[in-house]
Structure 1
Amino acid sequence: MKYIDFTQTGGYRLKQNTLARMQEAYFQLLHAFITYLKVPSSGSYIISGCEISGANITDGILYIDGDLCAFSQTAGDLTTKIQKIESVESLSFKSGLNLPVFRTTSATTSLTEGIELSAFTRLNVVQDNNYVHTDNNFTNALLAHLNSIETGAEVNVQADWNVINPNSDAYIKNIPNLPLLLDKGVIIIGDVYTNESVQNIQVPILHQEDNDYTVIVSFESITNNATEANYTTTMFYTVFGKLQDSFRIYLRESSNSTQFLRINWMILK
């Protein structure tokens, strides 16, 4: 930054280069301020004031295409057009010439020129000590997404069928009354050599009452012989003798046929 030491004694002579240096100094201050606000050198901005008050636009300071422009209160609204104007005042010099010296930029309303007040960008600089700058822009889409999330919502909550506490995150509402698979297995019996047969199925301790479970049985032919496979349909069965560690299947065939059978069984609670 440019600096002038006016404390020196001995008769400092105030000349044009001193005044030019002073002007350059405060232009540097202005440029630093505008750069801090990230305001480009072209465009229309409201630094302060210029608000709608009744039927008037209040006093204010505008920044139009790189120039600060004072604005005086006048009648208007957001649709009123505002333009930058420049005035120049000349002074008489010892040389006898009148030369342009004072240049003033300001802003005023216009019927045809400039842009509407609503198109100006208002610069609001409020210091927030808790603000942390990042390079990630927060978009309107992200804001809409956040607003759509229910209060208290959580992610990646693992539901658990066995949780019975309704206040737990893992609790599942409206669980249907589904059967519970206690055990399953397969036995191969081949052919039922007589018209009837009893198969005793051993299972692990089920920790149920003696008959507090259901046995589902299906018969399956495991032969490539079409005749033996067809005889599978002649089988009838009954489940009985249910205990904690076993149950029995009573088999009967409607005719003395040859089968090659496998029994698939499941125990449901």
Structure 2
Amino acid sequence: MNSFNFIQAGGFPMDVDVLDQMQTAYKLYNGLGALAGDMVIIKGCTLTGSTVSDGVVYINGEVLEFRSGIVDTNVIIVQQAQSKEFENGNVNEVYYTRYATFGVATTSFPWTSFKRAFPTSLIVEELAKKAEKTVVDSLIQRVGVIEQRVGVIEEKLGTIARGAEVNVQADMNVTDVNNDAYVKNKPTMPTIPKSEILYKGFFTLGDPIGESTYLITFPSVGTANYAVLGSLEGRNGNRSIDIGTSYIIFSREHNCFILGVDDMGGVQALDFNFILVSK
């Protein structure tokens, strides 16, 4: 970062050029906000009832004070100018105070677009916890169904007399017990439904910001009883950025579901490929 050596003998030339250089130097701090991403809450902005508290946000490459207010649809940037009289008698604007708050203006930003910055100190811990819970729960449920049906088969087989296989004839469909082709003690085999692919699709995520949700729509498949099998595909060639991204599925409907994405940072270009499989 730029610096100044003020401690010098002979009288330091403190003029407007030096002050401008100082202002340019501390503007570099705005770049730190990019670590969290655009439209991010860096500090504060806590919702209590219908009021959002004071805080700090990052908007369009600028770190700004956020002033509390009643929660509203949009956030705006306010600039207040303060004037001073110069030596030549002219009055000019000198100080500019900029802050973000709720309001209405030509340029505004949806409050729902703001995401809270993820503490970098927790990245390793949170990555260790990540697992695709939806897929795991679905597999556990399907294994449970299979175990129940195997139990039914074992129960039926237990009613067949020892050595009964000698009575088995050629035709399992014969119902006349006096027919030589009749099979005695036939078990009733349960029907195990087969999974069916209901729909294939993809959705362009682009660059998710923090914890984001997306409504994925598709033509109605006639049921909400399906599993979503999906994969995230990176298109920007930087695998180290894309690897930290995870997703979860919830709120399944016959023609849509919600995709939740947790982005660990960085500029990404992601697609979500998926198929819907009947349960």
Note whether the superposition's TM-score is higher than 0.5.
no
Q: Which has the larger radius of gyration?
A: 1
Greater helix content: 2
- TM-score when normalising by structure 2: 0.43
